[in-house]
Chain A
Amino acid sequence: MLSTSPALESLITAFSRLPGIGRKTAQRMALFTLRQPRSEVEELITALQNVLERVRSCSTCFNITETDPCAICSSSRRNHGLVCVVEEPNDVFAIERTNDYKGVYHVLGGTLAPLDGIGPEDLRVRELIERVEKGMDEVILALNPTVEGEATTHYLSRLLKPLGVRVTRIARGIPVGADLEFADDATLVRALEGRIPV
């Protein structure tokens, strides 16, 4: 049935690439889109187009932004000598939600993943080193407490310490294997306060 429309078929394919969306759900989403009023579909198109055209990553911290440098990197109310290293932009959202952190960020783009061949050259490690070399008082390593996150924390601390910067990590208030993104605010505040040197 569906193959009678190559246009619909390509929409289904596009939807099925979204995280957590299987082929069947993608079909439902595509058919749902088809039944929507034209104006709503156009709104979706505009939103997608805007994201495509306006959203990019900050050339300093690699968080997602519409201005470069981003609002956090260009804010005078932020402590630019304190940088918090996280895996993904989601983690920035999570920490910002606490309203408790006044430093800046560095989005690494993931963790070392030995089985997937993801090494330091695939992450923004070199860029982090460059920022620290330009002068930083403290680097907080706030990676997810997974096995890969721990390995990355150790790897980074070994690189950073010789640069004479204070290197800390967030306390392990979050169970191993969980996601920073889903921690409740109180846990996150405690984890930031309880950071320890590594």
Chain B
Amino acid sequence: MVVKTEAVVLKTVKYGDTSKIISVFTREYGKLSLIAKGARTSRSKFVSILNPMSCIQAVFYLKESRDIHLLSDASSSRVHKNIVGDPQKTMTGFVMLDALNTAVHTRESHPVLFDHLVEALDGLDRAERSPVNYLIAFLIALLREAGYGLKLDACVRCGGKLDREPLVFESQFGGFACGRCRSPDTTLTMAPNHLEALRWLERPSPEVWSRLSLEPVESLRIVHLLAGHLCRHVPGARRLRSLSLLESTVVG
């Protein structure tokens, strides 16, 4: 059957002399692979829109028996012209795609998560500073949608206020433990401003995300915390290999 849906391109692989196989996350049908015939020649109308992070309106033949479906038409659904060309934004976007790619399974539809991804990419495109904030916000949403949302309001062990340092992130309980009841062998101590940052970026309002100003090293620490949590809990999720590239781009 011919279907039409919004999609974000996750990755592309060369196929044959002129074609591309693209892995996309679609709003209606989840993650799947499409073959775009002739997409690598400069004459193809697909040539400049089928790249990682591209948001497209895709028309394709969905065949239940196939792993790869034939793309018949594609057009840009949103233009993000400020991401490619800005190395930090590009790498930040790649980590978003990496996280999504590892957390969702093929043909698992998740429109809410799709909207979060598009929202994060929109924000990343517009961001004038702190691009990594959009990644943190996306990872928080991704964890929540995967059923492993963070608990940020109280100590995960005693339920008390998180006001005594040092705070410890206890991944097995999905949140922070206060200074009174942290187990002695934990090493992942976090500063109160990490918790504040997470609370700020958990808010469902992208327009406030960029107002949070974090040192690059601090924001990467939070990204690592979230990526570790993702890897530990979400079934099938693996380590985000894109993180080291983001790190070298952000802190040099």
Using CB atoms and an 8 Å cutoff, list the residues of chain A in contact with chain B.
19-20, 112-117, 119, 146-148, 150-151, 154-155, 158, 174-179, 182-184, 187
What is the CA–CA distance of A142 and B200 in the complex, to the nearest angstrom? Answer: 42
Closest to B42 in A: A178
| Among listed B11-19, B104-112, B164-172, interface-contacting one | B11-19
Q: Which residues of A contact B41 (CB under 8 A)?
A: 178-179, 182
Could you tell me if B48 and A114 are in contact, using CB atoms closer than 8 angstroms? no
Q: Judging by beta carbons under 8 Å apart, are A147 and B244 in contact?
A: no
Is B236 interfacial (CB 8 A cutoff)? no
User: Smallest distance from the beta carbon of A87 to chain B beta carbons, Å?
Assistant: 11
Interface size class of B (residues with CB under 8 A): 35 or more
Contact partner of A148 (CB less than 8 A), chosen from B47, B48, B52, B249, is B52
**Which of B15, B18, B85, B249 is the one whose CB lies under 8 Å from A155?**
B249
Residues of A within 8 A of B91 (CB): 114, 151
- Residue B49 CB within 8 A of the other chain: yes
Contact call A115/B101, Cβ cutoff below 8 A: yes
Tell me, in angstroms, the Cα distance from A117 to B95 when the chains sit together.
11
Interface residues of B (CB under 8 A from A): 10-12, 14-19, 39-42, 44, 46-53, 84-85, 87, 90-91, 94-95, 97-98, 101, 241-242, 244-246, 248-249, 252
Whether B42 pairs with A19 at a CB distance below 8 angstroms is no
The one of B40, B47, B50, B241 in contact with A114, judged by C-beta atoms closer than 8 angstroms, is B241
Q: Select from chain B the residue with minimum beta-carbon distance to A157.
A: B87
Of the residues B17, B47, B98, B244, contact of A176 by C-beta under 8 Å: B47
Give A146 to B85 CA distance when docked, in angstroms. 11
Listed by A's residue number, 30 A-B pairs whose Cβ atoms lie within 8 Å are A19-B15, A20-B15, A20-B16, A114-B98, A114-B241, A115-B101, A115-B241, A116-B11, A119-B244, A147-B53, A148-B52, A151-B87, A151-B94, A158-B87, A158-B252, A174-B42, A175-B42, A175-B48, A176-B47, A176-B48, A176-B51, A177-B39, A177-B48, A177-B51, A178-B47, A178-B48, A179-B40, A182-B18, A182-B40, A184-B42
